[in-house]
Amino acid sequence: MTVLTETVARPCEQPASVRSRVTVPLRFPDGLTATAEVMTFHGLADGMEHLMIGLGPWQQALLDAGADGTAPLVRLHSECLTGDVFGSERCDCGPQLREAVEEIAAVGGFLLYLRQEGRGIGLYSKIDAYALQDTGLDTYEANVALGRGEDERDYTAAAQMLGAVGAGRIRLLTNNPDKVGQLAALGVEVTEQVPTGVHLSAANKLYLAAKRNHTAHTIDLPDADLPGTPSKIPTHDELLARVDALVPRLREHAGETDGLRRIPDTVMAELKAAGVFQMLAPKAVGGFGMCLETYVQVVRRLAQGDASTAWSVGHLAEHVWMLARWPKQAQDEVFAAGPAPLAAATGAPPGSAEKVPGGFTISGRWSFASGVMHSDWALLAVQHGGVRLQCLVPMADLELLDVWHTAGLRGTGSNDLRAEALFVPAHRALEWNLLAAAENPGSFIHPDPSIHVPMATFLNMVAPAAALGAAEHALDEFRNLMMVRKVKQTVEKRQADSPLAQARFTQAYGQVATARLHWEEAVRVVSASFDRRPVAFTDEERAQYRLSLGLSGQASAEAVRLILTGSGGSVHRLTHPLQRIQRDVNVLLNHASLTMDPILEQAGRGLLDLGFTIPAEQF
């Protein structure tokens, strides 16, 4: 913040004059238009090429600005190339510029466009400050770390420009008290401070919070949108209630999700607003710190709306949990923008890695990258000699291959990723065995119980929960269909009146109930291990929960098969939800967590105390 002294000249003591004036029509991307009178100046104190933009009836506003009149509305807007031109969401400058033009044009006044990039430190230094912010510093701390002031802006030239057009009394459009203070010290009478809007986004909430907390900007931020607000953490039941409220919307958009082969942006926005992506994130980074019971219920209930959405959310939330298992340097990087960094993860097949100074170079093509269409990061498995690593890579560094053309789970968009000799710094490469263990690096940082759970435990839970939720959705659709459907070559007016149809519904209902009971048993076995340190399973327990999950998936699929067989030919139209549910469940049954042959073999060995023939953590 600039400190003024008595030696600063007032505008009347160091006058400037208008150099030129030209009319420029303005148009913003959203369609807003305005006519601007752009003025340049001689004699500005700092020698910079600042602009004054007259908007609306600005001449009349000057005439009306007597002692008792309404002063013209003025905005001091510091240049921000990244926000004003490129639409960066790391700040709120672009939206404030557009808002100022609209507000001032409506009443008459001036927008002063001041060439003071990065609060006066310049464009390159601002970009350097962004890099420091990515390590966890706030916007002011980053400037100081570069050896610069928190705010180096001086508004002497702005006061000169206002003096040159006779605007000695103004209403100032700002949330920044420093602007008011500096102009007053420079002889400009600020009759009113008019607040700007709060242009909050996921990328700028830390920036806005720093302005509010550090320099007393008058910004009203909802605490729920800020990291680390424990009072706003929902309970288990509250989060599930949010998810239940989304189910009708997921059903409404399920066809669109299937066609787009990703979750629609509107649905993603609603999911983020519900907080589902931060449910497993540690409380220290602004997450909810919830455990397995909440997580699997969220996946199951989302699948009652759309299995593809449930699958994507389940894995994206689980990958946030995986990121919280990394050492602090990597965590500081990925959680800098908020409590739910979205990352795809895949190890099929693993790529290759070569050790180089400062890290590794990796190459490979990775398939089944669930969540990749919504991710900023990717977690990629690579092999370095006899050691398997996981590498954390920005999505911008990878080639995305559009190959996800499938019969089911189309909306997951689980496309391929490719890289060739891509450098990964050492702090973003971690041995898989260390990451997957109960005592992982994150377990020494966060006390949240779920961080201490072996990684394979959560990985095995998504497909069975999604299959169960999809089967429950199919049962609802079948019940509704039976109450109105007239079956050909029968005497009943509706299918529900047929004893054979009643028996079929009962069979399907029983299969869903069986699937639910097996699923709940698996969750119970896993949850019972959480109180141990380190968290670990006996071979028998591992066999029990994996077998229960497999049997749950089988029963879910059988319920869907019974339902489809008894629902008539019209349900196979692509507009009907039952055909999509069947396709989704068929694909789910081919996932490793539900493929029965290896499950039965290994579970049998575990239950008979014969020992697994594969490493236990791979089962």
- Distance (Å, whole) CA 87 – CA 75: 19
* Three-state SS letters, 520-534: HHHHHHHHHCCCCCC
**Does the active-site annotation cover 151?**
yes
Judge contact between 389 and 431, C-beta under 8 A. Answer: yes
Give the residue carrying structure tokens 């093509």: 365
**Does the active-site annotation cover 153?**
yes
- Distance (Å, whole) CA 386 – CA 391: 16
- Distance (Å, whole) CA 351 – CA 398: 13
Residue of 92, 128, 151, 154 marked catalytic: 151
Adjacent-strand bridge partners of 383:
352, 388
- Distance (Å, whole) CA 162 – CA 419: 55
Burial class (CB in 10 A: 0-12, 13-18, 19+), 586: middle
Nearest to 133 by CA among 328, 284, 337, 329: 337
Counting runs of H as helices and runs of E as strands, what totals does the chain give?
19, 14
SS3 call for 20: strand
Give the residue carrying structure tokens 């949330």: 175
Q: Is 358 left (phi over 0), alpha (psi -120 to 50) or beta?
A: left
Mark 412-441 as b/e (b = at least 16 C-beta within 10 Å). bbbbbbebeebebeebbbbebeebbbbebb
Q: What angle (nearest 5°) sits at the alpha carbon of residue 19, between those of residues 14 and 21? A: 130
Residue of 75, 119, 148, 153 marked catalytic: 153
In this structure, which amino acid lies at residue 550?
G
DSSP per residue, 181-248? HHHHHTT-EEEEEEPPP----TTTHHHHHHHHHHH-------GGGSSS-GGGPPPHHHHHHHHHHHHH
Active site residues: 151, 153
